[in-house]
Amino acid sequence: MKALLSMDASAFPLVFAEPERTRLGQLVDVDVSRPDRPLADLTVAERQSVELLITGWGAQQLGEAELDQMPRLRGVVHWGGGVGFLDPSAPARGIAISSARAANAIPVAEFTLAMIILASKDAFWVSRTYGQRQAEVLREVELAHTGLFRRTIGIVGASSVGTLVMRLLQNHAVDMLLFDPYTTPEQAARLGAEQVTDLAELARRSSILTVHAPELPATRGMVSREVLAELPHGATVINTARGSLIDQDALVEELTAGRLRAVLDVTEPEVLPPGHPLYDLPNVFLTPHLAGSTGSELQRLGATAVAEVERFVVGQPFAHPISP
């Protein structure tokens, strides 16, 4: 079976370790020496022989004209998340599509869980106080408000990441509230959460609010000035989704006033310009889009992709199918 790689060449060895590269060579006829080879560089016969595309970050745009050049193409295995590079007509052409979105959700959910636990203990802020004071912190007196036990966590979005966060939180004695207009109360209950249909109400009842909605025109700024104002004094906002989902100017005002705290792995824009207040505010824990797959975690994406290639080769449906 003829396969073609399409991705950033520098990412290929990071995502596909030696065992995965060897396995790919056993499964399909593919040139692993040119993971970024443009479709235009192939001969007409080579393009017409491609049955499977293996894609990732930096994949070339594949519109209708490009798909027309690959009449035998029947599968796309993408080790990234979204497949915006692929023309929406692909399914109608009989092309099955797989994404490693679920695999990438694992480190994001793990990171989020860690941030929830540390935020509930005031770990970020107490560390700074301890360093400045260089003397005893009276935990029972000064930190009487902290702890994860029976804390109310508000989850915005039952996405792949949001769902996994809720499943991880089921192992902890917390109360979960879920805002997602596409989820039923029964579905929320199966995840251990109470469905809340009003985002402002969810904020009002949450001491930690964590954002996991997709970035769409309808979700930009959904955590608005009004929603932020409903959060209790001392509440923490966690965002590992997209910076545009929060009214960032309003959040900065709340943080500057000292009313809220924030754990932000994403911002708007990304990267923030030099001198932006989010870099220096003492009640902000800021990371550079660290939650997604990094380092060894990238190899999980490659292993997931190879498993999908194996399923495709033997005629089984993808384990992680998606639609553009």
Q: 242 catalytic, yes or no? A: yes
Distance CA 262, CA 83 (A): 30
Distance CA 318, CA 296 (A): 24
- Per annotation, catalytic residue among 151, 242, 261, 320: 242
Q: Which two tokens stand for residue 207?
A: 């001491």
Structure letter (DSSP) for residue 261: E
Produce one character per residue of 185-215: b if its CB has 16 or more CB atoms within 10 Å, e if not: eeebeebbbebbeebbebbbbbbbbbbbbbe
- Per annotation, catalytic residue among 74, 225, 289, 300: 289
- Who contacts 216 (Cβ-Cβ below 8 Å, separation ≥6)? none
Nearest to 235 by CA among 286, 166, 181, 283: 283
Residue type, 121: K
Distance CA 81, CA 59 (A): 12
Query: Which 3 state secondary structure label does DSSP give 3?
Result: strand
Q: 270 catalytic, yes or no? A: yes
Q: 51 catalytic, yes or no? A: no
Q: Which two tokens stand for residue 177?
A: 């509230």
The count of C-alpha atoms lying within 13 angstroms of the C-alpha of 223, restricted to the half-sphere facing its C-beta, is 33
Q: Do the Cβ atoms of 255 and 261 come closer than 8 Å?
A: yes
Using CB atoms within 10 Å of the CB of residue 306, give its burial: 0 to 12 exposed, 13 to 18 middle, 19+ buried.
Answer: buried
Which neighbouring-strand residues pair with 86? 62
Helices (H), 50-93: 64-68
> Strand order in 208-211's β-sheet?
193-195, 175-179, 152-156, 208-211, 236-239, 261-264, 284-286
- Which residues have a catalytic role annotated? 242, 270, 289
